[in-house]
Structure 1
């Protein structure tokens, strides 16, 4: 206070005398075009996502995922495959130094390094430019990641014959849903019940990777030979009985297949 000149207040340095409006920083000094987040940027991102989604739906509708057997918890011979977006990791684990005793490298170390590199890319390459030649680290890491994923996925798909796999693990669903005529009084039914029913089902419809017998094209002699020597994934010496019972079994299977028109991919 100064005498004769009235009263004066000392200003607090923590409070600005002139309050400024909350205006975002001007990024016009950086190269490239600036734009408002709403609605310009958000609308462009939404349109890009919509085009990708529509294209993905068209691809799924044109090439549906191949279906295999119905879920069967009793089938110990079934080899499951991961979904398509994990096939590249599945393929990686097939290589010598990424699987087996080196499983930790393939399952943890390599994917961990890849994701860490992608996470650190924005911090390693902080160039303000948007062009490809001005962002070598970020663009390089992304190209390596995309190329590796596409190549490993292609290699995994090319090694799997999905049509053959579908036929191998196919189950005669029509036979399961409809009543198949089975002559339980036939001479070979007892032999089938004792030797084959556990794998091929009560109605010869198949189970798991064991094919249906309802549409077999094998002759009686061929069926007799398979019962002793096996075929495909079926091991030998599965039949335990006399030669007469084996003859009756083969005739029963052949006659049952002729009497029924159910589908299947039996052997």
Structure 2
């Protein structure tokens, strides 16, 4: 019996004791070069992961990401952008060989070849060495992939003023107002306007909010009868008295919001 190697029993001296070469030797045979997975190695992994997690959380608290407003399907001028980790693919589609009639190359063929190559790299370079210069194929393909992603991401983000974009599309705070549901104008509003503008006048996907507008009663009456923008004429169905009640009600709500 030798220290650190355990004990072997051999029944016949003509039979080798090491009959299972695929079983790795005990880690104690390599002092200083390896260690037990539990708890030594796993504890180090947890500590490193905890440091990065705390650092990432501190970064998000110190510099929160600029959020934009709610999506507006009626705004045809808005250009959506993917998240930062997809910007390199977004930039790739700007090149002639990956867009237009060749868009399938940009969205399927080129990314498929790139990620497929990285997947096959360990099988293409099966050398026994672990140092970078001993694994030229795998290391070269990885460096090429990382460089391509970094360059395309930089090219895409350098043409976007993120702060100005966030400022131009920042979410508008919701103005809270107390709605007098006993007001006769509210009943008229329910009959004519709630299907688009909602019970609380905050609007929805098909109509803007009526809180925070700067219109007189006469302007509101004109819009209710003649329409404006995407609102067609003839929406309001009621008498002149009810129209006046509706306009006065909307004006009173906006006076609270000021």
Tell me, yes or no, if structure 1 residue 161 matches structure 2 residue 165. yes
CA distance in 1, matches of 2:48, 2:222: 62
Q: So what's the TM-score if we normalise by structure 1?
A: 0.56
Q: Contact (CA 8 Å) 1:172, 1:212: kept in 2 or not? A: no
1:1-267 superposed matches below 5 A: 17-20=15-18, 24=25, 35-38=33-36, 42-64=42-64, 66=67, 84=83, 87-88=86-87, 91-92=90-91, 95=94, 98=98, 102-125=102-125, 128=129, 130-131=131-132, 135=136, 137-148=140-151, 150-151=153-154, 154=157, 158=161, 161-167=165-171, 172=174, 174=176, 180-182=179-181, 184-186=183-185, 190=188, 193-194=191-192, 196-208=193-205, 210-220=207-217, 230=228, 234-235=229-230, 238-240=232-234, 248=244, 250-258=247-255, 260-261=256-257
CA distance in 1, matches of 2:112, 2:141: 17
Where does structure 1 lack aligned partners over 5 or more consecutive residues?
Answer: 1-11, 27-33, 263-267
1:118 Cα shift?
1.6
Give the alignment's Cα RMSD to 1 decimal: 5.1
Deviations 1:79-133 (CA, angstroms, capped at 9, x unpaired): 9979836643773586376567655333322321221122123344556353579
Q: So what's the TM-score if we normalise by structure 2?
A: 0.58
Deviations 1:33-71 (CA, angstroms, capped at 9, x unpaired): x820435655544433222222222233334453755x9
Where does structure 2 lack aligned partners over 5 or more consecutive residues?
Answer: 1-11
Q: Indicate the structure whose relative CO is greater, using CA pairs within 8 Å and at least 6 residues apart.
A: 1
CA distance in 1, matches of 2:119, 2:59: 30
- Count, aligned residues: 225
